[in-house]
Amino acid sequence: MKGLDNMGWLWQEITPVDRYTAACNGLLYDYDRKVLTMLYQPLIGPVAFSLYMTLWAQIEENRLWSGESSHHELMDFMGLNLTAVYQARLKLEGIGLLKTFVRKGEDSRTFIYELQPPLSPAEFFQDGMLSVYLYRKIGKSQYLKLKKFFSDRSVQFLHGYSEVTKKFEDIYESAVPSDIEYSPSLAADLGEIAGQDFIGRHEADRIQVGPEHFDFDLLMAGLSESLVPKRLITRKVREAISNLSYLYGIDALQMKNLLISAVDEENDEINIEKLRKAARDWYQMENYDRLPMLVDKIQPPIYQEAPDKPNTKEERIIHYLENTSPRQLLTDFQGGGEASAADLKIIEDVMFTQRLLPGVINVLIHYVLNQSDMKLSKAYVDTIASHWARKGVKTVREAIGLLKNEGGKFSEPAGGKKGRPASSRSAKPVRTELIPDWFNEPDHSAAGKKEHDLEKSADEKKQEIEEILKKFRN
């Protein structure tokens, strides 16, 4: 059965017999359904949307908790297997619509799925990440229709009117203490009920990328106090920088230039809206007027097969391809240099048109570059990607296995130019093979390894690696 190899890993996280309870972080309103349907569903997909609605439906009206159910019941109700339910749950968690809590017992686990309210339309369209992803997903025309749908005329219609609303103290008067009947339990009656929460509505959390993603130390070191005073880098500005850096792939040096353009000298602050526009304009200029889309950063956990601590070199290769983004893989091939906009465009196009997962894309990149003399040919990439999409390839191991079974079917690059053998490529003074840092670590899986093996020269190690990769290609 397809995906059976992943079930052992999946069942460490969740099983059909595990129990769960649905909860709400405050009341959800009928208007939220429109927001979820029209703004969130294009980003998370129909399955994750259906899971949210199903959990919501299991909570009684004007209540915060549902009864307890099993995941097997949830699978039957939605007509999905456990893998699909788990993936949908991860999508809801990642976009801020679900928080998951687990309590482990001796023989079972119990989950609490706490639904989070969606952002209001105003918060969503003002969010620097979600609004961009939605625009790219549905296009300009539909995006503008949605903005109009969730908008109405502003308070400008009050022009010419004057407010005559009375204040509280103008209408009401507080009674003197003697008019209130004394009760010994008055303080307890007016206080909160132990173990109970009032049913209400909590604010929705915005999407926020952690600061560890961006090198703030490098940014601050490169800022000129005369151009961008460091006091202007407030908490809100730092949060905006983290999100924009993640969204558009902006490094610290480029962010410095964008900050300079966003300084509002009149108000002595950094205008976050101007910073967003500057970042968006920079990205579109670098990427042929296109905007980024929301995709999985690396191979989804459910389709990862290599152990967390790989022992063999084959496991290390698969582990690396599963835990590296396609952008980073291209960077590694270039010895740390930034991937070109043209190469990123090729990968972006095939990822969205063929719907291949990041790990599978990585195998494709690795294979095509080594077959085409380190050139990423769009026609060649499209040929293989469309074939893999029809075959339903989901894992790194499946992609590598398919290359082996094809017996060199894809060895002829676009344009009829054959890739040179690994031995001739290794003689060039450029990085011709993907050599991650972990390749230099000793392989502890071989018992009784001799000490001189750990002292091989760099050339001998590289030759050994190329032989292993050659076996993968052949």
The residue that leads in pLDDT, 245 or 301, is 245
On the 0-12 / 13-18 / 19+ scale of CB atoms within 10 A, 397 is buried
Least confident of 42-56, 64-78, 211-225, 292-306: 292-306
Question: How confident is the model over 360-377, as a mean pLDDT?
Answer: 84
Tens digit of each residue's pLDDT (9 = 90 or more) over 155-175: 666 677 787 888 877 777 666
Question: Cα–Cα distances in Å, from 171 out to 102, 163, 249?
Answer: 52, 16, 58
Q: Are strands 269-270 and 263-264 parallel, antiparallel or unpaired?
A: antiparallel
Query: Percent of the chain having pLDDT more than 90?
Result: 16
pLDDT at 423: 36
Task: Please tell me the pTM assigned to this model.
Answer: 0.51
Q: Give the mean pLDDT of the chain.
A: 75
Is it the case that residue 445 has pLDDT exceeding 80?
Answer: no
Token pair recorded at residue 59: 């909570």
pLDDT at 131: 87
Query: Count of alpha carbons within 13 Å of 454, Cβ hemisphere only?
Result: 9
Residue pLDDT, tens place only, 30-75: 889 999 999 999 999 999 999 999 999 998 776 788 889 999 999 9
Per-residue pLDDT band at 414 (split at 50, 70, 90): very low
In this prediction, residue 442 has a pLDDT band, given cuts at 50, 70 and 90, of very low
In degrees, to the nearest 5, what angle opens at C-alpha 255 toward C-alphas 251 and 260?
A: 165
Residue with tokens 């009149």: 266
Whether residue 431 is predicted with pLDDT greater than 50 in this model: the reply is no
Top-confidence residue, 344 or 130: 130
Q: Is the pLDDT of residue 92 over 80?
A: yes
Helix (DSSP H) and strand (DSSP E) numbers for the chain: 22, 6
